[in-house]
């Protein structure tokens, strides 16, 4: 069984040794930092139980369960979900629970030496070498930075808009576009909107990253500078990880994962700076239409010593599900 947790949805699939999908189920968010442990756990269990039921298998017939979940940077968070699942007796053995950034790493490298730089709602870089030494950089959350992420871009956008409206900053299309995005006329209304979104779900503010990208495509210099800086910061995360795990015998690859790389300006900046900071690595084109299930399937093949061809079978199966 493979479980793709997320801050908006949770997908569980049951697959056989050939990569064929026997059952699947979708539920709500399993990101505890946005909806709390209890609700995240409830959604997670709902998705798993429903997928197993649809597969016509019994829970104790599942040989291996791998869960990639958001917001489990600490052992305490991981232990919470592990205990919850164990108490239900869903699987033959304890589930393997790993952070979503580890799954992104497998999606980029299939388990080979390399680094994935995730940039969606948040940002983090994670890598591993052939000696199984791993390291991470970033991932401190929106309050601690998350440079290059959608939230970081959104915060830069609101700052730029505020300075422009106050007459303290340069003219920029960002301000006008933010007002249009929220369908408001008075710039001061942004204060209530932004802080209410922060309290309810800070991830929603990440949608403003698209506004910045639109302005950049229309030639707005400030918007371009924000995105260029974002790409540079993401490349610096990769360099920080590389410096911790580099060994001469490894041929490293580096790739980006996440919706933020849909921005042409940011993507180009990221790639250019990777080549500048890490000239000896192979650069994998950023994955924007990211399916975490690919990383989960790659980890499955590693754990069960299955052929890597199964990975694409699983991805194709999930794609068929998603377009129904």
Predicted pLDDT of residue 324: 54
Round to whole Å and give the CA distance between 275 and 235. 9
Task: Assign 3-class secondary structure to 160-215.
Answer: HHHHHHHCCCCCCHHHHHHHHHCCCCCCCHHHHHHHHHHHHHHHHHHHHHHHHHHH
CB within 8 Å of 169: residues ≥ 6 apart? 160, 162, 163, 222
Q: For the chain (length 324 residues), average pLDDT per consecutive 10?
A: 87 92 91 83 91 86 89 82 82 85 92 94 93 92 81 91 87 90 85 75 80 95 96 97 95 93 96 96 87 90 92 89 64
Predicted pLDDT of residue 320: 84
Quick one: 79 and 213 in the same domain?
A: no
Quick one: 69 and 151 in the same domain?
A: no
Write the burial class of residue 94 (CB in 10 Å: 0-12 exposed, 13-18 middle, 19+ buried): exposed
Residue 257's CATH number: 3.30.420.40
Predicted pLDDT of residue 164: 86
Quick one: 180 and 300 in the same domain?
A: no
Quick one: 89 and 111 in the same domain?
A: no
Quick one: 119 and 245 in the same domain?
A: yes
Quick one: 153 and 273 in the same domain?
A: yes
pTM of the full predicted structure? 0.84
- Kindly state the tokens that stand for 70: 């958001």
Round to whole Å and give the CA distance between 48 and 106. 22
Query: Is residue 205 within 8 Å of residue 199, measured between CB atoms?
Result: no
Question: Could you give the maximum distance between any two Cα atoms of the chain, in Å?
Answer: 66
Query: Is residue 64 within 8 Å of residue 300, measured between CB atoms?
Result: yes
Quick one: 283 and 297 in the same domain?
A: no
Quick one: 134 and 165 in the same domain?
A: yes
Quick one: 61 and 9 in the same domain?
A: yes
Quick one: 133 and 270 in the same domain?
A: yes
Predicted pLDDT of residue 199: 67
Domain around 222: 101-289
Quick one: 85 and 105 in the same domain?
A: no
Predicted pLDDT of residue 37: 84
Quick one: 139 and 277 in the same domain?
A: yes
**Alpha-carbon 261 to chain mean position:** 11
The alpha carbon torsion through 302, 306, 310, 315 (nearest 10 deg) reads -30
Query: Is residue 234 within 8 Å of residue 283, measured between CB atoms?
Result: no
Write the burial class of residue 26 (CB in 10 Å: 0-12 exposed, 13-18 middle, 19+ buried): middle
Q: How many domains does the chain have?
A: 2
**Alpha-carbon 279 to chain mean position:** 25
């Amino acid at each position: 069984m493979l479980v793709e947790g997320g801050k908006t949805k949770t997908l569980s699939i049951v697959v056989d040794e050939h990569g064929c999908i026997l059952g699947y189920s979708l539920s709500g968010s399993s990101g505890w930092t946005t909806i709390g442990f209890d609700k995240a756990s409830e959604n997670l269990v709902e998705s798993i139980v429903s997928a197993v039921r649809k597969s016509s298998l019994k829970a104790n017939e599942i040989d291996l369960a791998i869960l990639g979940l958001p917001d489990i940077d600490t052992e305490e968070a991981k232990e919470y979900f592990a205990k919850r699942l164990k108490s239900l007796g869903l699987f033959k053995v304890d589930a393997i629970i790993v952070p979503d950034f580890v799954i992104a790493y497998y999606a980029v490298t299939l388990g080979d030496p390399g680094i994935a730089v995730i940039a969606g709602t948040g940002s983090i870089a994670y890598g591993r070498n052939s000696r199984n030494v791993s390291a991470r950089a970033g991932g401190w959350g929106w309050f601690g930075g998350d440079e290059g992420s959608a939230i970081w871009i959104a915060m830069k956008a609101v700052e730029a808009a505020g300075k422009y409206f106050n007459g303290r900053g340069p003219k920029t299309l960002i301000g006008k576009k933010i007002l249009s995005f929220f369908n408001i006329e008075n710039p001061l209304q942004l204060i209530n909107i932004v802080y209410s979104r922060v309290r309810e779900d800070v991830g929603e503010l990440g949608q403003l990253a698209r506004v910045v990208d639109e302005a950049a495509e229309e030639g707005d210099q400030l918007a371009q500078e924000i995105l260029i800086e974002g790409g540079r910061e993401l490349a610096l995360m990769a360099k920080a990880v590389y410096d911790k795990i580099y060994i001469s015998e490894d041929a490293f690859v580096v790739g980006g994962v996440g919706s933020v790389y849909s921005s042409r300006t940011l993507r180009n900046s990221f790639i250019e700076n990777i080549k500048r900071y890490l000239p000896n690595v192979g650069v994998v084109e950023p994955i924007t239409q990211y399916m975490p299930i690919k990383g989960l399937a790659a980890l499955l093949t590693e754990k069960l010593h299955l052929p890597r061809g199964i990975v694409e079978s699983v991805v194709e199966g999930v794609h068929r599900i998603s377009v129904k």
